[in-house]
Chains A and B, each alone.
Chain A
Amino acid sequence: MAEAYDVVIVGGGHNGLVTATYLARARRRVLVLERRAAVGGPMTTEEIAPGFRGPTGASLCGLLRPEIVEDLNLRSRGVTFIQPDPELVVLGDERALRIWKDVRKTRESIGSFSTKDAEAYPRFIEFLRQFAAAIDPILAMTPPSLPSPSLREQMSLFRRALRLRRLGKTAMQHMLRLPPMSVRDFLNEWFETELLKANFAVDALIGTYEGPWSPGTAFGLVPHFRPDVHGTASAFVRGGMGALANALGLAARDAGVTIRTEAEVTRIVSAEGRVTGVELAGGKTIGARMVASNADPKRTFLHLVEPEELGPEFLNHVRNFEMNGVVAKVNFALDGAPRLPLVGDGVPPHFRVCPSLEYIERAYDDAKYGKASAHPFLDVTLPTVVDPDLAPPGKHVMSVLVQYAPYALRGGRWDTEGEKLAERVTGILEDYMPGLERLILRRQVLTPADLQERFGLTEGHIYHGEMTLDQSLVLRPVPGWSRYRTPIEGLYLCGSGSHPGGGITGAPGYNAAREILKDWARFSA
Chain B
Amino acid sequence: MARAYDAIVIGGGHNGLTTAAYLAQAGKKVLVLERRHVLGGAAVTEEVYPGFKFTVCSYVCSLLRPQIIRDLDLPSHGFEVIPQESSFMPLPDGRYLFYRGDEEDTFQAVAKFSRRDAEAMPRFGRLMARMAKFIAPTLTMTPPDIGSLNPSELRKLFALNKQVQTLTEAELYTFARLMTMSAADYLDEWFETDVVKASLCSSGIIGTLLGPRSPGTAYVLMHHYMGEIDGAYRSWGYVRGGMGMVSEAIARAARGFGAEIRVNAEVRHILARNGRAIGVELSTGEKLYAKVIASGADPKRTFLKMIDKSDLPADFVRGIENFKIEGSSGKVNLALKEAPSFSCLPGNGVHLQGAISLGPSVDYIEKAYDDAKYGDYSHRPYVDMCVPSTLDPTLAPPGKHIMSCFIQYAPYTLRKGTWEERREEFGETVLDTIEEYIPNLRKIVLHRQVLSPWDLEQMIGLTGGNIFHGELTPDQLLFLRPTPGWAQYRMPLRGLYLCGSGAHPGGGVMGAPGLNAAREILKDWALLRV
- What residues make up the interface of A, taking CB atoms closer than 8 Å to B? 146-147, 165, 169-170, 172-174, 176-178, 180-181, 185, 189, 210, 213-216, 316, 320, 322, 358, 361, 365, 368-369, 468-470, 474-475, 479-480
Q: Assess whether B180 is in contact with A216, with CB atoms less than 8 Å apart.
A: yes
Partner-binding segment picked from B121-129, B210-218, B379-387: B210-218
CB neighbours of A178 from chain B (8 A): 475
Chain B residues with Cβ under 8 A from A216's Cβ? Answer: 180, 215-216
Does B146 touch A at the CB level, under 8 Å? yes
Q: Could you say which residues of chain B place their CB within 8 Å of the CB of A215?
A: 210, 214-216, 473-475
Those of B135-194 within 8 Å (CB) of chain A? 145-148, 169-170, 172-174, 176-177, 179-181, 185, 188-189
- Asked if residues A214 and B215 are in contact (CB atoms below 8 Å), the reply is yes
Residue in B closest to A147 when the chains form the complex, CB atoms: B169
Measured between beta carbons, the chain B residues less than 8 angstroms from A361 are 373
Identity of the chain A residue whose Cβ is nearest the Cβ of B176 in the assembled complex: A475
Contact check, A173 vs B474: say whether CB atoms are below 8 A apart: no
Please list the 8 inter-chain residue pairs (A to B) with the smallest Cβ-Cβ separation, ordered nearest first.
A479-B173, A173-B484, A180-B474, A469-B180, A470-B180, A169-B147, A147-B169, A216-B215
Across the interface, name the chain B residue whose C-beta is closest to A173. Answer: B484
Residue from A174, A316, A368 within 8 A of B484 (CB atoms): A174
**How many angstroms from the CA of A281 to the CA of B455 in the assembled complex?**
69
Inter-chain contact A173/B480, CB cutoff 8 Å: yes
Q: List chain B residues, Cβ under 8 A from A176.
A: 146, 480, 484
Contacts of B479 in A (CB 8 A): 173
Q: Are B475 and A180 in contact (CB under 8 A)?
A: yes
Query: Which A-chain residue is minimally distant from B164 (CB atoms)?
Result: A146
**Can you give 17 A-B contacts (C-beta < 8 A)?**
A146-B172, A146-B173, A169-B147, A173-B484, A173-B485, A176-B484, A215-B210, A215-B216, A216-B215, A216-B216, A316-B189, A320-B189, A322-B185, A368-B366, A474-B173, A475-B173, A479-B174
In whole Å, how far is B403's beta carbon from the nearest beta carbon of chain A?
32
Q: Which residues of A contact B315 (CB under 8 A)?
A: 170
Within the complex, the shortest CB–CB distance from B363 to chain A, in Å, comes to 7
Of B147, B176, B363, B374, the most chain A CB neighbours within 10 A belong to B147
In the complex, are the beta carbons of A173 and B169 less than 8 A apart? Answer: no
The docked-state distance in angstroms from the alpha carbon of A216 to that of B176 is 13
B324 within 8 A of A: yes
Shortest CB-to-CB span from B386 to chain A, Å, is 29
| Closest chain A residue, CB of each to CB of B324 | A185
Contact of B147 among A146, A165, A474, A475 (CB under 8 A): A165
Query: In the bound complex, do residue B169 and residue A180 qualify as a contact, i.e. CB atoms below 8 Å apart?
Result: no
Contacts of A174 in B (CB 8 A): 484
Extra 20 A-B pairs, beta carbons < 8 Å, given A173-B146, A216-B216, A358-B374: A146-B173, A147-B172, A169-B147, A170-B315, A173-B479, A173-B480, A176-B146, A176-B480, A180-B180, A180-B475, A215-B215, A215-B216, A215-B475, A320-B188, A365-B370, A469-B179, A475-B173, A475-B176, A479-B173, A480-B170
Q: How far is the CA of A164 from the CA of B61 in the complex (A)?
A: 41
B408 to nearest A CB, angstroms?
Answer: 16
Query: Which residues B323-370 have CB closer than 8 A to chain A?
Result: 324, 363, 366, 370
Nearest residue (CB) in A for B473 is A215
The residue among A185, A214, A215, A365 with the most chain B CB atoms within 10 A of its own CB is A215
Do A469 and B215 touch across chains, with their CB atoms under 8 A apart? Answer: yes
A165-B147, A368-B213, A470-B181 in contact; A170/B484 too (CB < 8 A)?
Answer: yes
CA distance A210 to B185 in the complex (A): 12
- B264 on the interface (CB 8 Å rule)? no
CA distance A173 to B148 in the complex (A): 10
List, in ascending order, chain A residues with CB within 8 A of B210's CB. 215
- On chain A, the residues within 8 Å of B216 by CB distance are 180, 215-216
Q: Tell me the nearest residue of chain A to B173, going by C-beta.
A: A479
A3 smallest CB distance to B (angstroms): 39
B147 touching A369 by the CB < 8 A rule?
no
A174→B484 CA distance, assembly (Å)? 6
Known contacts A146-B172, A185-B324, A475-B176, A170 near B213 by CB under 8 Å: no
A493 to B169, CA, bound (A): 21
Q: How far is the CA of A170 from the CA of B480 in the complex (A)?
A: 10
With both chains docked as a complex, state the minimum distance between the C-beta of A107 and any C-beta of chain B, in angstroms: 21
B67 contacts A by Cβ under 8 Å: no
Is B322 engaged at the interface, CB distance under 8 Å to the other chain?
yes
Which of B173, B185, B485: most chain A CB closer than 10 A? B173
Identify B485's interface contact among A169, A180, A322, CB under 8 A: A169
In the complex, A165→B324 CA distance in Å? 26
Q: What is the bound-complex CA distance between A180 and B189, given in angstroms? A: 22
Contact (Cβ within 8 A) B373 A213: yes
* Complex: A475 Cα to B174 Cα, angstroms: 10
Report B205-234 residues with CB < 8 Å from chain A CB. 210, 213-216
Q: Complex Cα distance A468/B322, Å?
A: 24
B221 to chain A, nearest CB (A): 14
CA distance A61 to B181 in the complex (A): 30
Q: Which of B145, B148, B169, B170 has the most CB of A within 10 A?
A: B169
Residue ID in chain B nearest A370 by CB atoms: B363
Q: In the complex, what's the smallest C-beta–C-beta distance from B217 to chain A, in angstroms? A: 8
Given the complex of chains A and B, what is the CA–CA distance between A322 and B184 in angstroms?
12
* Residue numbers in B under 8 Å from A480 (CB-CB): 169-170, 173
* Residue from B148, B188, B213 within 8 A of A169 (CB atoms): B148
User: Closest approach, in angstroms, between the C-beta of A204 and any C-beta of chain B?
Assistant: 13
Chain A minimum-CB-distance residue to B148: A169
Residues from chain A with a CB closer than 8 A to the CB of B214 are 213-215
In angstroms, Cα B479 to Cα A172, docked, is 12
B131 to nearest A CB, angstroms?
14
Say whether, besides A180-B475, A216-B215, A173 and B173 are in contact (CB < 8 Å): no
Taken together as a complex, chains A and B put the C-alpha atoms of A165 and B153 apart, in Å, by 15
Give Cα distance in the complex from A358 to B415, angstroms. 13
How many angstroms from the CA of A214 to the CA of B373 in the assembled complex? 11
Please give, as numbers and ranges, the residues of chain A lying within 8 Å of B170 by CB-CB distance.
479-480
A165-B147, A213-B214 given; A479·B177 CB < 8 A: yes
CB distance from B166 to the nearest CB of A (A): 12
Question: Once the chains bind, are B363 and A474 in contact (CB under 8 Å)?
Answer: no
- From B373, which residue of chain A is reached at the shortest CB distance? A213
**In the bound complex, what is the Cα–Cα distance between A369 and B365 (angstroms)?**
12
Residues of A within 8 A of B363 (CB): 369
Return A358 CB to nearest CB of chain B, in Å. Answer: 7
Who on chain B is nearest to A188 by CB? B322
B205 smallest CB distance to A (angstroms):
12
Question: What residues of chain B lie closer than 8 Å to A210, measured between beta carbons?
Answer: 215
In the complex, residue of chain A having the shortest beta-carbon distance to the beta carbon of B168: A147
Output the least CB separation between A413 and chain B (Å). 21
**Which of B170, B475, B485 has the most CB atoms of chain A within a 10 A radius of its CB?**
B475
Residues of B within 8 A of A172 (CB): 146-147
Closest Cβ neighbor of A175 among chain B residues: B484
Q: How far does the alpha carbon of A320 sit from the alpha carbon of B184 in the complex, in Å? A: 12
Query: Which residue on chain B has the smallest CB distance to residue A320?
Result: B189
A221 to chain B, nearest CB (A): 14
Give the Cβ gap from A122 to chain B, nearest Cβ, in Å.
17
B167 shortest CB reach to chain A, Å: 10
Q: How far is the CB of B396 from chain A (nearest CB, A)?
A: 41
In the complex, A369→B212 CA distance in Å? 13
> Within 8 Å CB of A180, what residues of B?
179-180, 215-216, 473-475
On whether the beta carbons of A468 and B147 are closer than 8 Å, the reply is no
Whether B485 contacts A170 by the Cβ 8 Å rule is yes
Chain A: minimal CB distance from B484 (Å): 4
User: Which residues on B sit within 8 Å (CB–CB) of A189?
Assistant: 322
State A147–B165 Cα separation when bound (angstroms).
Answer: 8
| Distance between Cα atoms of A361 and B214 in the complex (Å) | 12
In Å, the complex CA distance between A181 and B473 comes to: 8
> What 0/1 readout, one digit per residue, does chain B (45-88) give for beta carbons within 8 Å of chain A?
00000000000000000000000000000000000000000000
Closest-CB distance, A245 to chain B (whole angstroms): 34
Indicate the member of A173, A322, A361, A368 with the most B CB atoms within 10 Å: A173
A146-B172, A181-B475, A213-B373 known; A470 vs B177 contact (CB < 8 Å) = yes
CB-defined contacts of B188 to chain A, threshold 8 Å = 320
Residues of A within 8 A of B473 (CB): 180-181, 215
